[in-house]
Amino acid sequence: MPNAIVVSLINMKGGVGKTTLAVGLAWELAMKGRRVLLVDIDPQFNATQWIVDTATYLGWLKNRHTVLNIFMPNGIEDIAPAKPTPASAIIPVIRGGHRLDVLPSTLDLMKLDAAPRGTENRLRVFLDKVRSSYEYILIDCPPTASLFSYSAFLSSDAYLVPIKPDPLSVLGLPLLERAMQDYEDRAGQALYLLGLVFCQVRQTEAMTDTMKLVRRQYAGQVFEDTIGQTTGVAEAADKNLPLQLSTKGGKFNEVKTALNGICREFENRVAALL
Ligand SMILES: Nc1ncnc2c1ncn2[C@@H]1O[C@H](COP(=O)(O)OP(=O)(O)OP(=O)(O)O)[C@@H](O)[C@H]1O
Ligand SMILES: [Mg+2]
């Protein structure tokens, strides 16, 4: 059984669409019959909240594990020691007959500020144990250059950059490059850039110009399809629904078509990498 390819969705800029793309792409792959694990390492736990309904999540927290237990298997403060296993830390979620596995996050991850040396390697060690069970493992990163993002870097084969084509977000790209360079220097290994995906796109002249500029600067690295800004994304998240299963019509259908195209290009780019 071939091992999963691990891809982090990274951008140090907040609110650009990382989680929306991570969840959308994960479900799209799952709906194509791929075995997918989505790893949430953001203390905001937005991907977890989107995919897992509240009752299931609260029940899970009572006697199962989250990514916090992977970072701190010996416990911190009031959190009981725990040795997470795939069965105790991965939630299988079924929607529309398709399965997506989630390694959930928790707000308590914020307590993990003074972690001992070596903590950054724990996620990789855990994921190495489950790699053979999946074709794709996607990691939804927080918008910070933190222990979490560095752990994702150390765990991944490649990274994908969701980007909002507004001037301020584009200005963040050199900062991201610098952060990735810093990680490469620390780790002594490079991470393959799978590409950039435009998210929350509006048909304004400014955004169109910005996209042209980025496509020129990052020639060959920007995905063809773009995700448009549309109402209905937050509602789908609120109902724990994949975007693909939302019944909202109109412009929302363009988002579904875009996710389909992005997924196809994603798989092609991964195949070229292997
Ligand atoms: N295509 C879209 N159309 C409309 N709203 C969107 C779209 N994509 C994302 N949003 C909304 O924009 C906000 C930020 O999106 P998202 O959470 O995906 O970004 P993020 O980069 O993961 O943010 P953070 O840096 O906080 O993790 C959310 O409220 C989300 O519902
Ligand atoms: Mg997010």
Residues 115-144 pLDDT 10s: 888 999 999 999 999 999 999 999 999 999
Strand (E) or helix (H) holding 217? helix 205-217
Strand (E) or helix (H) holding 238? helix 233-238
Closest-CA residue, ligand 1 atom 3, reads: 229
The mean per-residue pLDDT over the stretch 217-232 comes to 96
Between 168 and 191, where is the model more confident? 191
- The first and second tokens of residue 273, run together, are 């990498």
The mean per-residue pLDDT over the stretch 255-269 comes to 98
The answer to whether the CB of 105 is under 6 A from ligand 1 is no
pLDDT at 77: 57
Could you read off the pLDDT of 13-44 as tens digits, one per residue?
Answer: 999 999 999 999 999 999 999 999 999 999 99
pLDDT at 116: 85
Closest-CA residue, ligand 1 atom 23, reads: 15
Residue located via tokens 């092609």:
268
Between 93 and 1, where is the model more confident? 93
pLDDT at 177: 94
The Å distance, Cα 133 to ligand 1 centre, comes to 29
Between 126 and 168, where is the model more confident? 126
End-to-end C-alpha distance for the chain, whole angstroms: 15
- The first and second tokens of residue 272, run together, are 């070229």
Q: How high is the mean pLDDT of the chain?
A: 94
Does the pLDDT value for residue 167 go beyond 90?
A: no
- For the chain, list the domains and their CATH numbers: 5-273 (3.40.50.300)
SS3 197: strand
pLDDT at 28: 98
Rounded Cα distance, 75 and 222, in Å: 41
Could you tell me the pLDDT band of residue 219, with boundaries at 50, 70 and 90?
very high
Q: Rounded to the nearest 5°, which phi and psi values hold at 93? A: -120, 130
The answer to whether the CB of 18 is under 6 A from ligand 1 is yes
Those residues whose C-beta lies under 8 Å from the C-beta of residue 236, and which sit 6 or more positions away, are: 50, 242, 243, 245, 246, 248
pLDDT at 274: 85
The mean per-residue pLDDT over the stretch 194-221 comes to 96
Those residues whose C-beta lies under 8 Å from the C-beta of residue 129, and which sit 6 or more positions away, are: 86
pLDDT at 81: 58
Could you tell me the pLDDT band of residue 158, with boundaries at 50, 70 and 90?
very high
Q: Output b/e per residue, 123-133; b: 16+ Cβ within 10 A.
A: beebbeebbee
Could you read off the pLDDT of 38-86 as tens digits, one per residue?
Answer: 999 999 999 999 999 999 999 999 989 999 999 987 766 555 556 899 9
Side chain identity, residue 94: I
Put the strands of the sheet holding 36-40 in their side by side order: 91-95, 98-103, 36-40, 136-140, 5-9, 158-163, 192-198
Q: How many CA atoms lie within 13 A of 231 on its CB side?
A: 3
Pairing of strands 136-140, 36-40: parallel
Percent of the chain having pLDDT more than 90? 86
Closest-CA residue, ligand 1 atom 16, reads: 17
Closest CA to 182 of 146, 155, 142: 146
The answer to whether the CB of 230 is under 6 A from ligand 1 is yes
Does the pLDDT value for residue 105 go beyond 80?
A: yes
Does the pLDDT value for residue 11 go beyond 70?
A: yes
